[in-house]
């Protein structure tokens, strides 16, 4: 029997998969590198199959369009909607079926530059900026979930945004999507959208500010539950205070003086807090209650140290001079990416704080002190935080406050200098991993980009992995907007 081409292809594919053994014992014979390779292949096969299933769902939707009523394929098959037909056929959840149908409508829809075909009137017109994302989906480079994130992030963008700039921004997000999970991609896509549409930031911040709230409920057992909705600016201050209160309790690494530089009183205080029997959550609750009760007279030596909440704002000098653009709040615990804020917010925060200019050299690196001292200075740490945006290890989301400054050229072994261009932020976990398991960090190319070289035990070919900066402001500064003079 001769089958139509699509049916023939998928009949053969299913038969081949059925012949492939689903044998855990066979996997145990694989080396680590082969296991990772087959996992990546399985993921790509999954994405390719999902894209084709969505395409089928899109054609089912076209043949079940509302004007066909009972003559539509879904209703003729005994289903009220095409989503129900897809859900029953695939055995997936309703949410997955809706996603497949929505994606499929785009895959079978005409391009915005093409004319309408018969039976496509109810299908969406594919916006030009989504072309790259749909091509990546068809190629198996991104998943349906990634496409949904990209669509949602750029949907309804201001018409004043130049089409070429929009397509370029989406293309960069699509390229990054091939190496990111959906959660990280969502943050990246939102940042890209906000950088394109800075005019909308003011309205968004106003809406978030208006949505702030604090509510208390007394529960039947006598406990009270609090729900606190914070706008990003307020949240940055609260996070910094909570971080300051609980870092010793969590035995985390704080982005301040190293342990060796603390005085005896600080070390004794940290030890008392670390030995406290309360959980971090209980400790945080008590610290906040103490602050509310004591106010300005709180025992800062025991709880938080001295000083008001410190929120670092990053912005390019050029944007400040022009009065246009945006800035960002340095990421903190619980906020893997810095929050983009409108320029009026930046200007207001700068009015009440101290400005620390960071001067960039021709290589894009700030502040050198050579071998005059082994430890990075406080000012260099500020520069590292602004440049790196947190731990530079691929996939890590630890903010600068959880990081240590690592010498790429080690002080003793390589006679390294304490210069920012040979320093990089790593969280404690990845700093120990690098030193204890033979990883290396190198710099390559004219731009001297950082790359992570795995040991041969992890990758026999020791293929370098890029270590991009997580700081959006730094990327913008080096991408054509000068943020400081070279000295």
pLDDT at residue 370, as a whole number: 40
Query: Exposed (0-12), middle (13-18) or buried (19+): which is 154, by Cβ within 10 Å?
Result: buried
Of 204, 239, 258, which residue is a domain's last? Answer: 204
Both 187 and 226 in one domain: the answer is no
**pTM across the whole model:** 0.61
| 200 and 253 belong to one structural domain | no
Domain co-membership, 153 together with 256: no
Domain final residue, candidates 172, 204, 236: 204
What 3-state DSSP class applies to 414? coil
Average pLDDT over residues 142-162: 86
**Claim to verify: residue 330 and residue 454 sit in the same structural domain:** yes
Give pLDDT tens digits for 191-239: 888 878 776 777 778 888 889 999 988 888 878 899 999 988 888 888 8
138 band by pLDDT with thresholds 50, 70 and 90: very high
Question: Is 303 contained in some domain?
Answer: no
The confidence score (pLDDT) of residue 486 equals: 28
Beta bridge partners of 366: 360
Higher pLDDT, 323 or 353: 323
Q: Secondary structure of 240-303 in the HEC alphabet? A: HHHHHHHHHHHCCCCCCCCHHHCCHHHHHHHHHHHHCCCCHHHHHHHHHHHHHHHHHHCCCCCC
Rounded to an integer, what distance in angstroms lies between the CA atom of residue 251 and that of residue 395?
Answer: 22
pLDDT mean over 127-153: 91
In a shared domain, residues 281 and 320: no
Could you tell me if 339 and 476 lie in one domain? yes
What's the structural domain count of the chain?
3
| Burial class, 94, CB count within 10 angstroms (exposed 0-12 / middle 13-18 / buried 19+) | exposed
Average pLDDT on 385-403 reads: 83
Pair (419, 467) in one structural domain: yes
Segment 404-427 shows an average pLDDT of 74
Give yes or no: residues 28 and 151 share one domain. yes
CB 252 within 8 A of CB 227: no
Q: Does any domain span residue 253?
A: yes
How far is Cα of residue 145 from the mean position of the Cα atoms in its chain?
15
Does residue 304 form part of some domain? no
248 and 283 housed in the same domain: yes
User: How does pLDDT run across 270-289, given as a tens digit for each residue?
Assistant: 666 667 777 878 888 887 87
Within-domain flag for 48: yes
Q: Give me the sheet containing 339-342, strands edge to edge.
A: 313-314, 326-329, 339-342
End-to-end CA distance of the chain: 77
Nearest to 59 by CA among 120, 139, 144: 120
Handedness of CA 444, 448, 449, 450 (dihedral sign): positive
Q: Is the pLDDT of residue 164 over 70?
A: yes
Q: Are residues 245 and 141 in the same domain?
A: no
Q: Please indicate, yes or no, if residue 96 is contained in any of the structural domains.
A: yes
| pLDDT confidence of residue 266 | 62
Considering only CA atoms, which of 204, 191, 113 is closest in space to residue 149?
191
pLDDT reported for residue 257 = 46
- Residue 59 has what pLDDT? 92
Q: Can you give the pLDDT at residue 144?
A: 92
* Residue 161 burial (CB count, 10 A): 18
User: pLDDT tens-digit profile of 32-89?
Assistant: 888 888 899 999 999 999 999 999 999 999 999 888 888 899 988 888 899 999 999 9
Which helix (H) or strand (E) is 43 found in, with range?
helix 32-62
| 194 falls within a domain | yes
More confident residue, 283 or 374: 283
pLDDT at 395 over 90: no
For residue 241, the model assigns a pLDDT of 77
Segment 315-344 shows an average pLDDT of 68
Mean pLDDT to the nearest integer, 137-145:
92
Asked if the model's pLDDT at residue 253 lies above 60, the reply is: no
Domain, as residue range, for 391: 312-487
Taking CA atoms, 379 is separated from 352, 356, 417, 419, in Å, by 20, 9, 16, 12
Residues 256 and 130 in one domain: no
Residue 428 pLDDT class (50, 70, 90 cuts): confident
Q: Is the pLDDT of residue 406 over 80?
A: yes
Task: Examine residue 307 and state whether it is found in any structural domain, yes or no.
Answer: no
- Say if residue 225 is in the same domain as residue 186: no
- Burial of 476 by CB count in 10 Å (0-12 exposed, 13-18 middle, 19+ buried)? buried
Q: Quick check: is 213 in a domain?
A: no
Average pLDDT, the chain: 76
> What is the pLDDT at residue 234?
85
* Average pLDDT for 318-334: 68
Q: Let me know: does 402 contact 253? Beta carbons within 8 Å.
A: yes
Q: Calculate mean pLDDT across residues 244-273.
A: 56
Q: What is the pLDDT of residue 267?
A: 66
Which residues are paired to 228 by β-bridges? 214
Domain limit, last residue, from 297, 332, 348? 297
């Amino acid at each position: 029997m001769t089958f139509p081409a699509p049916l023939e292809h998928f009949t053969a594919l299913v038969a081949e998969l059925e012949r492939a053994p689903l044998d855990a014992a066979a996997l145990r014979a694989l080396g680590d590198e082969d296991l990772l390779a087959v996992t990546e292949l399985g993921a790509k096969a999954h994405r390719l199959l999902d894209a084709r299933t969505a395409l089928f769902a899109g054609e089912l939707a076209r043949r079940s369009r509302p004007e066909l009523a009972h003559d539509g394929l879904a209703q003729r098959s005994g289903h009220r909607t095409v989503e129900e037909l897809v859900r029953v056929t695939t055995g997936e959840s309703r949410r997955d079926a809706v996603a497949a149908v929505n994606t499929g409508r785009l895959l079978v829809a005409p391009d915005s530059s093409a004319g309408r075909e018969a039976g496509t009137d109810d299908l969406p017109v594919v916006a030009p900026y989504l072309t790259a994302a749909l091509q990546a989906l068809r190629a198996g480079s991104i998943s349906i979930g990634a496409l949904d994130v990209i669509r949602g992030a750029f949907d309804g963008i201001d018409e004043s945004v130049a089409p070429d700039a929009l397509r370029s921004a989406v293309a960069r997000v699509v390229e990054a999507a091939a190496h990111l999970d959906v959660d990280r991609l969502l943050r990246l896509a939102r940042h890209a959208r906000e950088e394109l549409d800075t005019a909308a930031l003011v309205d968004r911040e106003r809406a978030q500010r208006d949505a702030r709230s604090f509510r208390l409920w007394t529960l039947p057992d006598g406990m009270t539950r609090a729900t606190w909705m914070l706008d990003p600016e307020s949240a940055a201050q609260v996070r910094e205070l909570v971080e300051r209160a609980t870092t010793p309790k969590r035995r985390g690494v704080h982005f301040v003086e190293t342990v060796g530089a603390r005085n005896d009183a600080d070390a004794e205080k940290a030890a008392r807090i670390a030995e406290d029997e309360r959980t971090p959550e209980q400790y945080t609750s008590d610290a906040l209650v103490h602050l509310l009760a004591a106010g300005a007279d709180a025992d800062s030596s025991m709880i938080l140290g001295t000083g008001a909440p410190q929120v670092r704002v990053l912005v390019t000098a050029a944007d400040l001079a022009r009065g246009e653009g945006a800035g960002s709040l340095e990421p903190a615990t619980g906020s893997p990416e810095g929050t983009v804020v409108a320029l009026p917010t930046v200007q207001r925060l700068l009015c009440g704080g101290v400005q620390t200019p960071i001067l960039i050299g021709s290589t894009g690196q700030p502040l050198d002190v050579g071998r005059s001292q082994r430890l990075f200075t406080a000012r260099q740490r500020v520069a590292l935080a602004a440049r790196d945006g947190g731990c530079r290890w691929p996939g890590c989301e630890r903010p600068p406050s959880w990081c240590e400054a690592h010498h790429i050229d080690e002080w003793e072994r390589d006679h390294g200098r304490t210069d920012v261009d040979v320093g990089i932020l790593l969280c404690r976990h990845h700093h120990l991993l690098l030193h204890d398991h033979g990883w290396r960090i190198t710099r390559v190319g004219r731009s001297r980009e950082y790359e992570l070289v795995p040991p041969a035990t992890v990758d026999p070919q020791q293929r370098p992995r890029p270590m991009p900066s997580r700081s959006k402001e730094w990327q913008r500064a080096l991408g054509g907007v000068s943020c400081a003079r070279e000295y």
